[in-house]
């Protein structure tokens, strides 16, 4: 997606198309008005991939971290956001994380919200998250069983299918390999 395609104001309206990992981060950010580093990286680079440019990202995160002063935000967080866009440090243009990376590296600890719910949530919590996404019981059972058997991306692909089945005429989606690809498939855009 082109940089600038998404504004700070429009992020919330896109959340219905987010995969479970990003829905969770987005909801926790709204609930806590904060996310720890791993969550900021995972969600921040995903939003960058959606087309949120650096200025809009700074506006989005500043607003999301409501209680903080401008000075605290500038000192503690703005640098990292600019860094993700290649405007600081090594000036590398960082890419959104793949599912493989999210599933296999840097597992979440207590208080963290990054990671893959299919890999890192306890079964009951995963089922509750799927129910919140308005999936029928049969789909929730099947997807939770795939996750319990270690088929995390297959479970996520089934989640995508269950969402798309709400829209008659949608074709069978490709296997999910990244949160950005999930979003593109869910929103009907060309696969990433």
In the complex, the smallest distance separating the C-beta of residue 120 from ligand SF4, rounded to whole angstroms, is 9
Q: Which is nearer to ligand SF4, 68 or 192 (CB)?
A: 192
Q: Which of 51, 157, 186, 26 has the alpha carbon at shortest distance from 99? A: 157
For the chain, the straight-line distance linking the first and the last C-alpha, in angstroms and rounded, comes to 8
What angle (nearest 5°) sits at the alpha carbon of residue 160, between those of residues 164 and 143? 120
> Nearest 5°: phi and psi at 65?
-90, 55
In the complex, the smallest distance separating the C-beta of residue 168 from ligand SF4, rounded to whole angstroms, is 24
Q: Which is nearer to ligand SF4, 6 or 20 (CB)?
A: 20
Q: Which two tokens stand for residue 2?
A: 């082109």
Q: How far is CA 81 from CA 4, 146, 179, 182, in A?
A: 15, 35, 19, 23
Q: Which residues bind ligand SF4 (CB under 6 A)?
A: 19-21, 99, 102, 116-118, 152-153, 156, 176, 179, 182
Q: Which is nearer to ligand SF4, 19 or 39 (CB)?
A: 19
Q: Which two tokens stand for residue 120?
A: 């890192």
In the complex, the smallest distance separating the C-beta of residue 6 from ligand SF4, rounded to whole angstroms, is 18
Q: Which is nearer to ligand SF4, 85 or 152 (CB)?
A: 152
In the complex, the smallest distance separating the C-beta of residue 148 from ligand SF4, rounded to whole angstroms, is 14
């Amino acid at each position: 997606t082109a940089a600038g395609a998404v504004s700070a104001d429009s992020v919330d309206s896109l959340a219905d198309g987010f995969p479970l990992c990003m829905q969770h981060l987005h909801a926790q950010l709204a609930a806590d008005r904060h996310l720890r580093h791993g969550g900021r990286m995972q969600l921040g680079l995903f939003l960058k991939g959606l087309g949120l440019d650096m200025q809009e990202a700074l506006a989005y995160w500043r607003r999301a971290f409501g209680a903080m002063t401008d000075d605290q935000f500038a000192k503690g967080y703005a640098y990292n956001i600019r860094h993700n866009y290649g405007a600081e440090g090594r000036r590398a243009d960082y890419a959104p994380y793949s599912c493989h990376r999210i599933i296999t590296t840097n597992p979440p600890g207590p208080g963290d919200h990054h990671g893959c719910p299919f890999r890192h949530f306890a079964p009951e919590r995963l089922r509750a998250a799927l129910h919140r996404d308005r999936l029928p019981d049969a789909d929730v059972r099947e997807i939770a069983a795939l996750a319990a058997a270690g088929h995390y991306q297959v479970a996520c692909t089934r989640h995508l299918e269950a969402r798309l089945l709400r829209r008659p005429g949608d074709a069978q989606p490709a296997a999910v390999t990244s949160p950005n690809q999930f979003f593109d498939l869910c929103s009907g855009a060309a696969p990433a």
